[in-house]
Amino acid sequence: MSLVNYATREITCKIVYYGPGRSGKTTNLQYIHSRVPWDRKGEMVSLATEADRTLFFDFLPLELGQISGFRTRFQLYTVPGQVYYNATRRLVLQGADGVVFVADSQRPQLDGNIESLRNLHENLLEHGIDIRDIPVVIQYNKRDLPNVFSVEQLEEELNFRNVPSHPASALLGEGVFDTLRSASEGVLKKLARKLEVPAADTMGEPG
């Protein structure tokens, strides 16, 4: 849930990067962190196993602009992809204002994508949230690899709600900021409706 501080004119929102193991959630945050100017980001904390899989979360406070005079600060999290860390995934998802679902475009990973998307639904419901009531963006990652489904095929298999989606290669940085921009705009538009103010232009990719 967004935190609105009227005294400091600051809004803090939380976006969670969700998806199956090794789909590229951590790589997204690492790329964002490497490109954002130092004065617009906080330290990124990564807790990972020896296999370089996220155990708990990556945390990145990131300022993305203003909405009607309020400075916006986004906290970006990833969840662990492995099924046996589901309790941690549910905990990280708590209080999320928006979700980026990072899907692996490789053909052998389709079942994992579907299972993870189903798990997202279940864990949102555990928090009393219908997935239709929270901004969700899908990123079709690893487009640079061979043996991938077409974007059209992935849309048919995964995007049954017709939410915003973006092809990407997080490793190369392609589509990373498009995804973040889309997610942040969705969160701020919903917040603007709640505050009854127009949503301002949120962000541009750092140069």
**pLDDT given for residue 109 in this prediction:** 98
Q: Give the span between the Cα atoms of 166 and 60, in whole angstroms.
A: 21
Q: Give the span between the Cα atoms of 56 and 7, in whole angstroms.
A: 32
pLDDT, one tens digit per residue, over 130-158 is 999 999 999 999 999 999 999 999 999 99
Residues 6+ apart with CB under 8 A from 98: 13, 14, 15, 16, 134, 135, 136, 137, 183, 184, 186, 187
202 falls within a domain? no
207 falls within a domain? no
From residue 10, give the alpha-carbon distance in Å to each of 34, 68, 72, 74, 82. 24, 11, 6, 11, 35
pTM of the predicted protein model = 0.90
Copy the structure tokens of residue 203. 């962000």
Higher per-residue confidence, 203 vs 152: 152
Range of the domain at 148: 3-195
**pLDDT given for residue 88 in this prediction:** 86
Q: Which pLDDT band, with edges at 50, 70 and 90, does 178 fall under? A: very high
**pLDDT given for residue 66 in this prediction:** 77
205 falls within a domain? no
**pLDDT given for residue 148 in this prediction:** 98
Q: Which pLDDT band, with edges at 50, 70 and 90, does 55 fall under? A: very low
Q: Give the span between the Cα atoms of 157 and 101, in whole angstroms.
A: 14
Residue in 12, 158, 198 with CA at minimum distance from that of residue 96: 12
Check: CB of residue 103 under 8 Å from CB of residue 19. yes
55 falls within a domain? yes
Residue 89 is part of a domain; what is its CATH number? 3.40.50.300
Q: How many domains does the chain have?
A: 1
Residues 6+ apart with CB under 8 A from 193: none
58 falls within a domain? yes
